[in-house]
Amino acid sequence: MHFQRLEDLRIDNDKTQTEIAEYLGCQREVYRRYEKGTRQIPIDFLINLSELYQVNVDYLLGLTDEKKMYPRSK
């Protein structure tokens, strides 16, 4: 699966793959593989990216076109 939205959001936010990789605590090449869909992205990374970009995880995965984040459970 190609996560085009990860790439689009990164570019829209004027971030490099290196900056996002540093934010996630991984190597740039590992993050590049997440964007291209050649490596499975861990759930905790999806959550972190969701918070960074202020979109819901389903949007990142391409399951919905609704960007609005879900309310946090207590």
pLDDT tens track for 15-71? 999 999 999 999 999 999 999 999 999 999 999 999 999 999 999 988 988 898 877
Inter-CA distances, 44 with 14, 38, Å: 22, 18
| Domain extents in the chain | 4-60
pLDDT at residue 57 in the model:
92
Q: Which fold has domain 4-60?
A: 434 Repressor (Amino-terminal Domain) (1.10.260)
* Number of Cβ atoms within 10 Å of the Cβ of 2: 11
Identity of the residue numbered 18: T
Q: How many angstroms separate the CA atoms of 4 and 61, rounded?
A: 9
pLDDT at residue 70 in the model:
75
CA 1 from chain centre, in angstroms, equals 13
Please state whether the predicted TM-score (pTM) of the whole model is above 0.75. Answer: yes
